[in-house]
Structure 1
Amino acid sequence: MGALLASRGETMVNLLAPADPLVFCGTAEGEFFVGDDFRATYLAHLKEIPPGRMIDSRVEAWERGETGWAYWHGTLEFTTTQRPIPTRVTLIFAMYDGIWRVEHIHNSFPVANQEALGYEHTAHDALLEAARKLDPQVGSSGSATVMFTDIADSSAIAEAVGDARWSKVVQAHVEMVRQELEAHGGRLIKSLGDGTMSTFASAGQAMLAALDIQAALDGQAEEPRLRVRIGLHTGDVVQAGDDFFGTVVNKAARIAAFARPGEILVSEATRIMVGGASEFHFTDASRVALKGLEGDHLVYRLE
C-alpha cells in the first residue's frame, strides 16, 4: 500500500505472479483484467492513481504451504480530492522461487473513482492503446468497420458471482463474441477485461455480427445473464499510419461507451454503407457529444 500511495508502480508490477492465474478486480465498471492483459496495463493503471496518504491502516494475513492471503482495510486520502475514503484490499499470494507474488487483487472503494481519486476510469482507453500497437490487417485500401463490445454492470456481477466464476464467464463470453464475428468475416483485434475490439471489411456483416451477439445473449439460459453495449463506426483504412486508424477506432469506442446495455449504436458513416437494405432497421438519428471528439455526431440505434 505504501508503494501505491508513493506512485512506485514498478515495485507493485514486480510483485505480480509471472504465471496464470492472475486476476485484478476493482471497484469501477470494467475494472476486471486477467493474465497478460493485466500485466501489460497495470503500470499505466497505477500511474493514474494520484499520490495520497494512509490515515489508518490494519492488515491481517495468513499462509498455508505455498499459498498466502491478506486483507488490508483502512482509510486513504488522495491529494486530488482530500477526502477520507474507507478502503478494502484483498490479496492472494503464491510462492515463486522463495518470493511471495500476487495472483489476485481485489480493491474496494465505497464510492466511484471520480469521488475517491478525482478521475474517471479509462478501461476503454487501455483497450484503445493496446489496439493501436497492433496492425489491424484489414487490407491495404478501402474502408473497414470497427466494432467495440463491453459488458454492462460487470463489476456488480463479478462481486455477486465471485472472481473465479466471473473469470470463466468472461472467457466464455469473449469466445462467443469471437465465433460470431468470425462467422461474419470479422477479426478480433484485441480483448481486454470484458471488452473487445474487432474489424470487418463489410459494414453489413459487422451489423449482422452485432445482432447475432445480442441474440445469443438474449437466448442465454445460464446465469449470470449478460447485457452488452456495442458500438460501430466505419472509416477509410488506406495505409496512413496509427493516427488515421486511431481516429476510426476511437470513435467506435466512444459510440460503444455511449450505448445503453443491450443496445447497438452505429455511426452515420456505418448506416450509410448499407443504404436501404431491408434486413436492417434503425431509429431516427440522435445528435450526441462523444468524449474526446469535437462537435456533435449522429448515431443510430440498430434494432
Structure 2
Amino acid sequence: MIEPSPELMAVSRRWFQAVTVTRKDSELQNFLSTSAYLRFIGTAENERWFGPAVRQAIGDHFHEVPTIFKTEEILGEAFENGPVGWCCFLHKFWFETRPDDPVTFRTTLVFALEDGSWKIVQRHASTPVANQIIIGNEHSAIQALSDAAQQGFALGQREGLASVMFTDIVDSATLAGAVGDRRWSALVATHFVDLRQIIEAHQGQFVKSLGDGTMSSFSSAKQALSAAIDIQRHMQNQTSEPTLALRIGLHTGDVVQSDDDFFGNVVNKAARVTAAARPDTIRLSGETRAMVGNHPDFRFSDAQATHLKGFDGDHLTHELAWRA
C-alpha cells in the first residue's frame, strides 16, 4: 500500500542539508546505494552517471557546485510502498555567484531499503524550462487539463456525483514574458502549492496541474464553492508583484469511468464554464448552482444563458459572489 512517508521526508531533507551545507564526502556517500543500478541524472545532456562510480565521485561532484548560502523548500512530498520509496521536491537555491537571482530546482529521489536503511538508488534534478523554449508553443492550460482527464487520469472518487473545478491564470503569457521564465516557473510552483492547501482543506482532491492551470474534484458542491471563494480571497491578499488574477469555473455531474473515458462530459463542461469566466470571478454551471439551493453561505448573480463550445444549445451559468 502506498502511503505518505515522514521518515523519507526526514531522510531527504538530511540529504539536501548534506548537498547544500556540509558537503562531506563520507556523509554524501552514505546516502547512496551500493548497487550497480544506482542512477544519477541532472539537467545537462551529458549528466548521466551510473553505478558505483557515482558513489565514489559524489563529493567531487558537489564540490564543483558554487556555495549555496540560502535555500527555500517550495514543495516536498515523500511516499513509500514496502521496501521502495520516493520523494519529489521543488527548491529555490541562492548561489554565491548569483546572490540576487535564485535558481529553481526540481528533484526526484527514489529509495530502496538496504540492510534496514533507506538508500538513494536514483536521483534526478533539473531546472524548469518553459515549453515555449523547448517546443516552440505554449499549452492551453484548461483544455490540456481537460484532455488529460479524458485520457484516463484517475481520481480517488470513481463514481457518483463530483464537482470539478478548474483555475486558470489570466494573461499568463504576458506576465511570464515580463518576469522571465525562471522567476515565472518558481512563482507558478508556489501558486500551485497554495491552491493545493486550500483545496485539500475543503476535502477536495488536487488532481492535476498543467501549464498555469489546475483541476480539482470535490464530492460536495458546497465544499467546492467554499474552496473557490477561499482561493479568490487568497489571491486578493497578494502583496508581491506580479499580482496574479484567476478565473475559476465549476460544474457538477455524474462520474463515469470506462477504458477510454473518465468523467465523460463533466470535465469538458467544467472547462468550458471556466473559459466563459471573467478575470477575478467564479463561474459555475446551473447544475452546480442547483446542488446548493438557497444555502446561506453563497450568493449568486449574473445568470446567463451561455453557449459552451462542444455542447448543443445554451447553458445557464451563474457567478458566485466571493468578496466579503
TM-score by length of 2: 0.56
Q: One-letter code of the match for 1:207?
A: L
Q: Does 1:207 align with 2:229?
A: no
Tell me the equivalent position of 2:157: 138
Maintained 8 Å contact 1:143/1:238: no
1:139-218 matches, within 5 Å, as 139-140=158-159, 142-218=160-236
Maintained 8 Å contact 1:265/1:300: yes
Maintained 8 Å contact 1:20/1:103: no
Q: One-letter code of the match for 2:147?
A: E
Tell me the equivalent position of 1:236: 254
Q: Distance in 2 between matches of 1:189 and 1:262?
A: 22
Partner of 1:288, secondary structure, is: strand
Partner of 2:295, secondary structure, is: coil
Tell me the equivalent position of 2:146: 128
Q: Which one has the largest radius of gyration?
A: 2
After superposition, the C-alpha distances for 1:185-240 in whole angstroms (9 at most, x for unaligned) are 10011100110000000000000000000000000101111100100000012555
Q: Distance in 2 between matches of 1:197 and 1:222?
A: 25
Summarize the Cα distance change of 1:248–1:164 in structure 2 as closer, same or farther, 3 Å threshold. Answer: same
Structure (1/2) with the larger strand percentage? 2
Q: CA deviation at 1:285?
A: 1.4
TM-score by length of 1: 0.60
Residues paired across the two proteins, number: 197
Question: How big is the alpha-carbon RMSD for the aligned residues of Structure 1 and Structure 2?
Answer: 2.7
Summarize the Cα distance change of 1:244–1:107 in structure 2 as closer, same or farther, 3 Å threshold. Answer: closer
2:243 pairs with 189, 202, 225, which one?
225
Instruction: Report the identity percentage.
Output: 52
Tell me the equivalent position of 1:258: 276
Tell me the equivalent position of 1:270: 288
Partner of 2:283, secondary structure, is: strand
**Contiguous gaps of at least 5 residues in structure 1:** 1-17, 22-101, 109-116
Q: Where do 4+ consecutive residues of structure 1 move more than 6 Å?
A: none
**Contiguous gaps of at least 5 residues in structure 2:** 1-40, 45-126
Tell me the equivalent position of 2:80: none
Q: One-letter code of the match for 1:292?
A: G
Q: Distance in 2 between matches of 1:131 and 1:19?
A: 30
After superposition, the C-alpha distances for 1:152-211 in whole angstroms (9 at most, x for unaligned) are 010111111111110011001111110100000100111001100000000000000000
Q: Distance in 1 between matches of 2:43 and 2:171?
A: 25
Maintained 8 Å contact 2:140/2:211: no
Maintained 8 Å contact 2:206/2:217: yes
